[in-house]
Structure 1
Amino acid sequence: MKSQKLYSYVRKAVDDFGMIEDGDKIAIGISGGKDSLTLLYALSGLKIFYPNKFQLVAITVDLGFGIQDLDKIKDYCKKFDVEYHVIETQIADVVFEQRKESNPCSLCAKMRKGALNNKAEELGCNKIAYAHHKDDIIETMFLSLIYEGRFHCFSPVTYLDKKRLTVIRPLMYVPEMDVIGFAKRYELPVAKNRCPVDGHTKREYVKKLVRQLVKENPGCKERFFTAIMNGCYNMDK
């Protein structure tokens, strides 16, 4: 995927759901993975030509899993003239050593989001951009269906009352394969943290399940997404 196609996907999501308003200060959560680095590239490019003017800051929550080389990410942010902050935490120790969670992802995500929200608020941001792409949305729907018994997915735009922050998901129309291709084409400085359960989660199980369904039923992924758009987001497009 080339940059112009990425901008097109993101512009459509931003316009369809009114994600960005004039004067916004948006924090981007940078995990070090391909998704968040692609989002930073997309919003930095969109900032140049989008009619609503906005600011960007990048924030990494260091979970404490060990050495995560963030130097290239710092340089990457500098390239786009985006202010970069790293929050040091002991989340890994709390989740895996102190609490010894059998389902660590839930607590880890909650603590990570809390740290990110607090820092965004401290920096005067009114919005946070998450890097959830199209496949994330489909997988989340299946997770909800299988484990919660409901047809549900996170919203493109979510207002957090307690923090007075709005969460936006500008990559929602971008397929994961396009993100993978984009990261390779533009040699994004991926620096993933070393989570010991990476690749062994319920989400990974659902990812494989969707992959199998697509293999047996070509085109069904698009139909899943259409169902989510109509059922969860009440879109007629």
Structure 2
Amino acid sequence: MSDTALDTPPAAGADRKAAFEANKLSKRLHRQVGQAIADFNMIEAGDKIMVCVSGGKDSYALLDILMNLRKRAPVPFELVAVNLDQKQPGFPAHVLPAYLEQVGVPFRIEEQDTYSIVKRLIPEGQTMCSLCSRLRRGILYRVASELGATKIALGHHRDDMVVTLLMNMFFGSRMKGMPPKLVSDDGKHVVIRPLAYVAETDLERWAEHRAFPIIPCTLCGNQEGLQRAQIKAMIRDWDRQYPGRIDNMFTAMGNIVPSHMMDRNLYPFTSLQATGVADPAGDKAFDEDDPCEPAAPSVVKLRLDD
């Protein structure tokens, strides 16, 4: 062992390792967000991006990464942070303005008492998310119009998108996920999700590293009994037992084969006829598909490892 190694305090070695891991995480997050933006053309020259900031880890990370990417982006765009103060009892109204002033981003705090509306209309013990979400969405669309925002950026990540797919399958009997880009309900805005390729565990680590001043959502008390919370716990458990399962499920959302599903609106099953022409890429009707066979290339690229 060298004299240098003997002279190095254990704490110094641990600090170097932590710095290395943080730098690696930073590169991965910025690369994944940049890739999602490029794959789905989320940001264009001259865009004014309204970043919805709730005080949770995901929206803090979204704003943080977009601010960094803007410095070296190939096209110019603006950012404005918007928080909806829903007048929840005990909400620390000073935290977000202080943080946003510190990082130097233009922002707007929109005060609307949706808390009282939700509490009045939803019986005690029932879930509040649906009504709360509808009220919040309408307000944010209005604010985006007032600000002249061309895009609305939300902090949903890879795990949110997989959970939404499973929620729709289990309880809505439909194959519907959470798209990385869509036109808003009112038809006036484009909503983007730049964290689409990012794992929630990475966002948790990033929030800890960056020491974001997290504000918990007290409106619903986190409602641990919600089906969404249970499904999130389920896929976390799957990923611990079978690493890569969430990645595979997410990638599958970008590798749809309409001819091998059952939606008659997407594929002309009723008019399907034999052509007499062999298709080298076609189905082998009497064979079972090999689930381990690699899928066709897709625009969805997870991990983007170093």
Provide the TM-score with structure 2 as the length reference: 0.72
Task: Indicate yes or no: 2:123 matched with 1:129.
Answer: no
Match of 1:217 among 235, 242, 246: 242
Q: How does 1:1-237 map to 2 (within 5 A)?
A: 1=22, 2-100=25-123, 102-160=126-184, 162-198=186-222, 199-231=224-256, 236-237=298-299
**Structure 1 stretch 60-69 or stretch 94-103: which is displaced more?**
94-103
- CA separation in 1, counterparts of 2:297 and 2:107? 35
CA displacement at 1:12 relative to structure 2: 0.5
Count of aligned pairs between the two proteins = 236
| Deviation readout 1:98-139 (Å, 9 max, x if unpaired) | 343733211111111111111111111111000001111111
The alignment partner of 1:85 has SS state of: strand
TM-aligned CA distance change 1:94 to 1:81, over 3 Å: same
**Is the 2:129–2:220 Cα contact (8 Å) retained in structure 1?**
no
Which secondary structure does the structure 1 equivalent of 2:139 belong to? Answer: helix
Distance in 2 of aligned mates of 1:78 and 1:190: 16
Q: Using structure 1 for the length normalisation, give the TM-score.
A: 0.92
SS of residue matched to 1:110: helix
Q: What CA distance in whole angstroms lies between the structure 2 residues aligned with 1:10 and 1:144? A: 25
**Residues 229 and 235, structure 1, Cα contact 8 Å, conserved in 2:** no
- Report how far residue 22 of structure 1 moved: 0.3
Q: Tell me, in whole angstroms, the C-alpha distance in 2 between the residues paired with 1:125 and 1:80.
A: 20
- C-alpha displacement at 1:197, in angstroms? 3.9
Structure 2 gaps, min length 5: 1-21, 258-295, 300-306
Say if 1:117 and 1:163, in contact at 8 Å, map to a contact too. Answer: no
Q: Report the AA paired with residue 298 of structure 2.
A: D
Structure 1: runs of 5+ lacking an equivalent: none
Q: Which has the higher strand share?
A: 1
The equivalent residue for 2:269 is none
Match of 2:281 in 1: none
SS of aligned partner of 1:46: helix
Q: Deviations over 1:11-40 (max 9, x none)?
A: 000001000000000101111100000001
| 2:162 counterpart letter in structure 1 | I
Alpha-carbon separation, structure 2, partners of 1:110 and 1:118: 13
Are 1:134 and 1:175, in contact at CA under 8 Å, matched by a contact in 2?
yes
Computed over aligned residues only, the root mean square deviation of the Cα atoms, in angstroms, reads 2.0
